[in-house]
Structure 1
């Protein structure tokens, strides 16, 4: 489970920013209790978090930062050495940011008897400036390793292994870790058991789903999983039920016995289910929903983390709300899979507590300041949000920030003035 994520100096996020999935005292019913404790108190985790904000506010960059961290953990040892430099993306609108490191850190609960881990690193254009892994097996912090590149002439930096927390071979991993590669990645590559367990979380988690070019790829991936001999039958039943529930006119799905192609069945005039050609006759909305369901069920089965960028662009607001409720439901989501999504759709904030699929501590706001830097904060920090507030209306009226600073009709008036000036000079 993901407890929190910290990032700094990545794309539009310059200053250190934290997204927390730890429930607060304002949570009403959606949080899941865990065996972990903090300052003597039990820790509860949120199964879903939504990031709201205007266009270009930096919402998507939060998800992209998580995706980048996963990619770095998976690829730094094998791929980063093939070309010069570290492929990071620091803040572009301040020249001094190019000389500052980029920070990425996750706080996790892993294992059947969950243990808390904190793993992170800092990157410059040329190397890994710092890296650390801390564990809390008995509630108190153990520093498993700390790495720091103090001098330009150091090969892989200085490594410290205080205490006996990280057991097993370490010298071979240190000697194999390039300045531009992560020690965690090198350790997993060399089959260190403890490091491999943390590395495995990144392999299995942080599935990024967008509303654009990846739809055909996710569609084909989902269709392939439906034909799996071991798990395909059960998945076909679940996806068929979700397609039918979406009120798309679909009654189910089947496999063509000759070609193995997945076909969606529709209600016909005579009541007989009939298939339509998936690529030529199904709507774009059907494609988006079908492509979303494959990763959705994969994450639910694995107890992973799904990153959904612009959830409202892929799904109708009613379907988006039902996806959130699916993650909130303990029976439908017994492994505590988590959903982190971005959206413009204020209807997901609901006009009333009953209609709102999110508790107050599950709502975050992204906005961009005058210098182009993104800021992220929970809605509860913007202004005291009472349980019975109409969060939708208050958000749209700008009480929490994260909405465009426009007055009604302002764009039309600006265009009219430009047109008038063009006519005057013609």
Structure 2
């Protein structure tokens, strides 16, 4: 589970911003929305939502966490010496534009608490640190800066010690990623969390996860569960079928690099499967309004954008809940009805339906969710930009005098919590001005 994520000097975040899933002392909705971790004395939230005006930093916050995940996963295997690190500092300040960006995450994985972070410029890792807490005391596993790398004598010995002594760690590669690649047991466990437990996607585009949902339709049990979700969402879909194309039929039309990548990602001995479309089945009725069979539609060409998005979302949604993952979604509410989004949130905020303690972190403009029956005050977050273009992140629980049964939505839209646009006079572009009359 995610405990805390901190980012500094990345995109619109100039100063440090901390996104915490630690529950406050408040006991509202304790039974469902909070997970107790008594061995570490923690209470963790099952979900968190971020509100803010357009361009306030909501998406940049998600992008920062996903950058950290992707860089941990790929820095040792997909980059070469001299490759630029795809990090972007806050560029609206002459002070920060050349300073390193900083990322740190604290998480719980298989009964062990980890704290890991790094600072980086586009050319090098400036600092990197890794600690863990198997019981009560936090132990330093390694610390890296421009002066060198300090390793734990027993837990990071052997080949990792040899690589560090021989200065064979690339300046643009993370030591955690390298150590995991060389099967250091503790590094492998931490890497597993980034690779298997931290799942992020864009609610604006299904390109990165539609293939996964299509593949799940080919599994009878998963297909039935996906259909159940579609029916409960009032989409009146009886069945779904996935259309596939033989790889050899289309391979000639694909770029050589993509052909090779598809082959590499396919298990040896199996032909690559290319998914072309999904067919949805809906009831057809006769003149007496009696069911007369089913009609097939193309999900891409015939169904609504919301239906298409929710279908593609069902695969990752079930996967996350089944495996206790952290689900980070940019613009979850895009193209989905507010009531449907509320039901998705309710799945995570449920001890019964979410027994593996998956977490949902997302941003939205859907103020209908600002309801004390859905979220505690510490689950509601805001982003706001100052006059210098820098984003800040804060929680509703940071405010004093906010009642547990308060009208969060009303107060938010009225600007009591900030994080709303300061709108000007939209009639101005349509109104003649003195300069126009003087021409």
Using the size of structure 2 for normalisation, the TM-score is: 0.86
Question: Would the aligned equivalents of 1:66 and 1:206 in 2 still touch at CA under 8 Å?
Answer: no
- Does 2:181 match 1:177? no
**Farther-moved stretch of structure 1 (66-75 vs 81-90):** 81-90
Cα distance, 1:280 vs. partner? 1.8
In the other structure, the counterpart of 1:253 is: 240
Question: Would the aligned equivalents of 1:3 and 1:45 in 2 still touch at CA under 8 Å?
Answer: yes
**What does 1:13-412 align with in structure 2 at a 5 Å threshold?**
13-29=13-29, 30-37=33-40, 42-81=41-80, 83-111=82-110, 114-150=111-147, 158-162=148-152, 164-166=154-156, 169-174=159-164, 175=166, 176-212=168-204, 214-227=205-218, 232-254=219-241, 262-269=278-285, 270-271=290-291, 272-350=293-371, 353=372, 356-406=373-423, 410-412=424-426
Cα distance, 1:421 vs. partner? 4.6
Question: Would the aligned equivalents of 1:36 and 1:116 in 2 still touch at CA under 8 Å?
Answer: no
Matched residues in 2 for 1:104 and 1:321: separation? Answer: 31
Matched residues in 1 for 2:161 and 2:84: separation? Answer: 25
Matched residues in 1 for 2:297 and 2:78: separation? Answer: 43
Cα distance, 1:300 vs. partner? 1.4
Cα distance, 1:243 vs. partner? 0.7
- For residue 284 of structure 2, give the secondary structure of its aligned residue in structure 1: coil
Superposed CA offset, 1:21-54 (max 9, x none): 11111241210111342xxxx2111111000101
Cα distance, 1:217 vs. partner? 4.1
Cα distance, 1:329 vs. partner? 1.4
Cα distance, 1:86 vs. partner? 2.1
Superposed CA offset, 1:86-124 (max 9, x none): 22100010122122111111101111xx11110111112
Question: Would the aligned equivalents of 2:49 and 2:381 in 1 still touch at CA under 8 Å?
Answer: yes
Matched residues in 1 for 2:35 and 2:9: separation? Answer: 32
- For residue 207 of structure 1, give the secondary structure of its aligned residue in structure 2: strand
- Does 2:434 match 1:413? no
Report the RMSD for the aligned CA atoms in angstroms.
Answer: 2.2
- For residue 231 of structure 2, give the secondary structure of its aligned residue in structure 1: helix
Matched residues in 1 for 2:379 and 2:224: separation? Answer: 31
Question: Would the aligned equivalents of 2:278 and 2:300 in 1 still touch at CA under 8 Å?
Answer: no
Q: In 2 relative to 1, CA 361–82 (structure 1 residues): closer, same or farther, beyond 3 Å?
A: same
Matched residues in 2 for 1:216 and 1:101: separation? Answer: 31
Q: In 2 relative to 1, CA 329–167 (structure 1 residues): closer, same or farther, beyond 3 Å?
A: farther
Cα distance, 1:253 vs. partner? 3.0
Question: Would the aligned equivalents of 1:244 and 1:252 in 2 still touch at CA under 8 Å?
Answer: no
Superposed CA offset, 1:265-302 (max 9, x none): 22322323432122221111111111211221121122
Question: Would the aligned equivalents of 1:10 and 1:65 in 2 still touch at CA under 8 Å?
Answer: yes
Q: In 2 relative to 1, CA 140–105 (structure 1 residues): closer, same or farther, beyond 3 Å?
A: same
Q: How many residues align?
A: 400
Matched residues in 2 for 1:205 and 1:166: separation? Answer: 24
Superposed CA offset, 1:171-215 (max 9, x none): 134243111110001011111121111011111133222233x32
Question: Would the aligned equivalents of 1:77 and 1:177 in 2 still touch at CA under 8 Å?
Answer: no
- For residue 405 of structure 1, give the secondary structure of its aligned residue in structure 2: coil
Matched residues in 1 for 2:352 and 2:279: separation? Answer: 29
Q: In 2 relative to 1, CA 285–81 (structure 1 residues): closer, same or farther, beyond 3 Å?
A: same
Q: In 2 relative to 1, CA 127–312 (structure 1 residues): closer, same or farther, beyond 3 Å?
A: same
Q: In 2 relative to 1, CA 27–250 (structure 1 residues): closer, same or farther, beyond 3 Å?
A: farther
- Does 2:18 match 1:3? no
Question: Any unmatched runs of 5+ in structure 2?
Answer: 247-274
Matched residues in 1 for 2:190 and 2:151: separation? Answer: 17
Cα distance, 1:264 vs. partner? 2.0
Question: Any unmatched runs of 5+ in structure 1?
Answer: 151-157
Q: In 2 relative to 1, CA 404–27 (structure 1 residues): closer, same or farther, beyond 3 Å?
A: farther
Question: Would the aligned equivalents of 2:201 and 2:208 in 1 still touch at CA under 8 Å?
Answer: no
- For residue 144 of structure 1, give the secondary structure of its aligned residue in structure 2: strand
